């Protein structure tokens, strides 16, 4: 065959592959099936991940409710203690017989209240810190699990 003669199967001496529709259909079908299978896997992982996230949020809300009650009870106890201390102080002030006794009583009360306030603040901070940790723990665990699964995939 000379270069002047060109057939549809050759261009400048290079043979072109022939198109076989039956092979193309089979390859297309295999690619489509693989795509469907991968989509199913992704959907299954997404579904599992959203179920885990929903469970984590539900657990966090339940925990928030419980620790909210604990925090409220602790706050009420602090307020009650402060109110009782104030009433006791007023009762003691009513019985004062001299200005110096009044100053002494008042100074002792203020000092005690400052010390108590510092202790109460520490206790409330500890309760609040624990509450935040408890509430965020389920979400943090779910997030860490999701990250590990992404790294594996």
Domain hosting 93: range is: 23-152
Residue 42 lies in a domain: yes
Is residue 137 situated within a structural domain? yes
The first and second tokens of residue 84, run together, are 């009782």
pLDDT tens-digit map of 26-45: 777 788 788 888 888 777 77
Tokens in use for 113?
């209240």
- Provide the whole-model pTM: 0.56
Residue 112 has what pLDDT?
A: 95
The residues that bridge with 11 in the sheet, in sequence order, are: 14
Is 70 within a domain? yes
- Please, are residues 150 and 48 in contact by the beta-carbon 8 Å criterion? no
Spatial distance between the Cα atoms of 78 and 153, rounded to a whole number of angstroms = 51
In a domain, 96, yes or no: yes
What is the C-alpha separation between 85 and 116, in angstroms, rounded? Answer: 10
Residue 13, in any domain of the structure: no
**Cβ proximity of 30 and 37 under 8 Å:** no
Contact 13, 3 (CB under 8 A): yes
Residues pairing with 38 in the sheet: none
Q: How many domains does the chain have?
A: 1
Locate 18 and state its tokens.
């022939």
Q: Which two tokens stand for residue 1?
A: 């065959």
| pLDDT tens digits, 66-109 | 888 888 888 899 999 999 999 999 999 999 999 999 999 999 99
Q: Is residue 52 part of a domain?
A: yes
- Structural domain contains residue 64: yes
């Amino acid at each position: 065959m000379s270069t002047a003669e060109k057939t549809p199967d050759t261009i400048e001496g290079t043979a072109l592959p022939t198109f076989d529709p039956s092979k193309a259909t089979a390859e297309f079908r295999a690619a489509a099936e693989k795509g469907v299978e991968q989509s199913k896997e992704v959907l299954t992982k997404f579904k599992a991940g959203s179920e885990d996230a929903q469970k984590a949020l539900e657990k966090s809300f339940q925990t928030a409710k419980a620790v909210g009650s604990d925090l409220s009870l602790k706050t009420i106890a602090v307020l009650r203690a402060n109110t009782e201390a104030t009433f006791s102080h007023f009762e003691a002030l009513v019985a004062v017989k001299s200005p110096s006794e009044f100053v002494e009583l008042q100074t002792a009360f203020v000092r005690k209240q400052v010390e108590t306030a510092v202790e109460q603040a520490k206790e409330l901070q500890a309760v609040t810190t624990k509450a935040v940790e408890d509430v965020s723990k389920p979400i943090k665990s779910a997030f860490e699990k999701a990250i590990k699964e992404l790294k594996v995939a």
